[in-house]
Amino acid sequence: MRILITGAAGQLGTELCHQLEMGRCALGPLPAQLRGAEVTPVDLPDADLTKHAGADMLLRRYTPDVVINCAAFTQVDLAESEPDAAFAANALAARNLAMACEVAGAKLVHISTDYVFSGDSARAYAETDLPCPASVYGETKLLGEQYVRDFCCRWFIVRTAWLYGRTGGNFVKTMLKLTAENDSVKVVNDQRGNPTNAEDLAYHLLLLAATEEYGLYHCTGNGVCSWYEFASEIARLAGHSAEMIPCTTADFPRPAKRPANSALEHRMLRLTVGDHMRHWQDALADYISEMGHDTA
């Protein structure tokens, strides 16, 4: 099988490449048809996916069976002041890949976000809930989903949230650094969601890619917490003694509105390839143990 991974230098793309190289991860072995797969990792400046010709040329050159699109404009606040850049990366690039995949007969696994929801619900969002984004980032990611649906027949759209992995910056690494260097740290306690280990997410993306169970999925760590609770657990696992101080979203005004509740329900996973996502505390403990405190 030939697998093309866009955004391969990021947290998720790196983890996908690692698992495909090893043939397994902490959750188990990969499906047999993915072991020994021919993997092509691409990132800027390898191809400009915001141009139709760039995506088309990429698919014609590598003729993949599966494309996993991890490329995105993820700077939520910057998207408010640079909406065209966010639109190009999150919507146009998704459209162009979908069109190219349709011509090539390739499956498309497209990564989306909890930010397609407003966050006003009192319960976890299911795949059947209607999106209502409250930020430019969420709007452009939702349009990317719609383009994938419109222009490609063989698609998996997978929404995730609060992602952390081995490569690049993330909330876990930031909190490890802050709690190691300060006596106290303030963290927002009125936004709730699902911390997600990139290892667990990558494994489920590959499980899906080996099937024809096309559709919309939610895939996050199991269990719900606030950013404050997440940060407190990071400090505890690292053995850092900094005092964790809860605060409100209003205490840290940001250009983009954050959802108060972005927890996601995993119904489609349970009914297809199975929900093997670990509880967020278990996945976090393994991550900190494996990476060590040098993650900061």
Question: Are 109 and 68 within 8 A, CB to CB?
Answer: yes
SS3 at position 21: helix
Selecting among 125, 137, 147, 203, the annotated active-site residue is 137
Q: What is the DSSP string of 116-148?
A: GS-S--SSPBPTTSPP---SHHHHHHHHHHHHH
Q: Which residues contact 227 (CB under 8 A, 6 or more apart)?
A: 171, 187, 188, 189, 191
Which amino acid type is present at position 189?
N
Q: Which residues contact 6 (CB under 8 A, 6 or more apart)?
A: 13, 42, 43, 47, 49, 67, 68, 69, 70, 71, 97
Closest listed residue to residue 11, CA positions, set 216, 155, 156, 201: 201
Which amino acid type is present at position 198?
A
Question: Are 280 and 222 within 8 A, CB to CB?
Answer: yes
62 catalytic? Reply is no
Question: Are 208 and 263 within 8 A, CB to CB?
Answer: no
* Active site positions, annotated: 137
